[in-house]
Amino acid sequence: MRFGGISGSVQTPKPLKSKRYWGTQRVARACQVSPATVASWIDQGHLKGHKTPTGRRRVITEDLAAFLRAHGMQVPSELVPERSRPVVVLIEDDAAWRRTLKAHVVRHGLELELVEAETGVDGLLEIGRREPALIVIDYGLPDLNAEQVVERLRSRGVRTEVLVVSGGMPEEAQARLRAAGVTAVIGKGDGVGAVVSAMAMALARRAAA
């Protein structure tokens, strides 16, 4: 189906407990269209909504989230319950690379909460606090390298999937990481998109388990 410049396949939405209402202005910003277009969608039945006694159009959050997913549009984080988003701990000391990764996560529409740490020690602390669904580690950290972080995690009984990102490492180091249960070792030369794709696959496996 295509109308108003939106197209996409229907996806099953996650149930939302929130019953907050969105007006046409906020919906327009989320969809990057005009308020008049949103009003037309509601009036024509494309977007489920209702009118208040004063004539204002309102859309329930769960209906808006379903609409956005159905047409392949990004769902704003405020429409997704916090506890329904998996936590991913990213341990990376390069701030520019972290920003690039976050931009790709948004571009790919991944619904997750990204917790950042710049050192191995800080990363271990965040993992202990948050119990993440996935851990992404840069191999060359300023204090502990990825092998040491993974070793400490496994000694604590943490079996969360781990992705290691590296600008280069010895083959024997890769072999040790895989022996320790690391899901994948991804070269930074492969691009951030390869890391985000691996993250999406890991989270999908977890959701299906």
CATH code of the domain containing 45: 1.10.1660
The radius of gyration computed from the CA coordinates of the chain, to the nearest angstrom, equals 21
Low-confidence ranges of the chain (pLDDT < 50): 1-19
Residues 90 and 31 in one domain: no
What are the tens digits of pLDDT across the range 88-101? 999 999 999 999 99
Q: What's the pLDDT at 77?
A: 66
Rounded Cα distance between 133 and 118, Å, is 19
Q: Is 152 helix (H, G, I), strand (E, B) or coil?
A: helix
Percent of the chain with pLDDT over 90: 54
Residues 120 and 53 in one domain: no
Residues 74 and 91 in one domain: no
- In contact, 66 and 13? CB cutoff 8 Å: yes
Among 2, 128, 166, 19, smallest CA distance to 73 is for 2
* Residues sharing a CB contact under 8 Å with residue 83, sequence separation 6 or more, in sequence order: none
What are the tens digits of pLDDT across the range 2-45? 344 443 333 333 433 444 788 999 888 888 889 999 999 999 99
Residues 19 and 52 in one domain: yes
- Please measure the distance between the N-terminal and C-terminal CA atoms of the chain and give it in whole angstroms: 32
Q: Provide the domain limits for residue 176.
A: 85-208
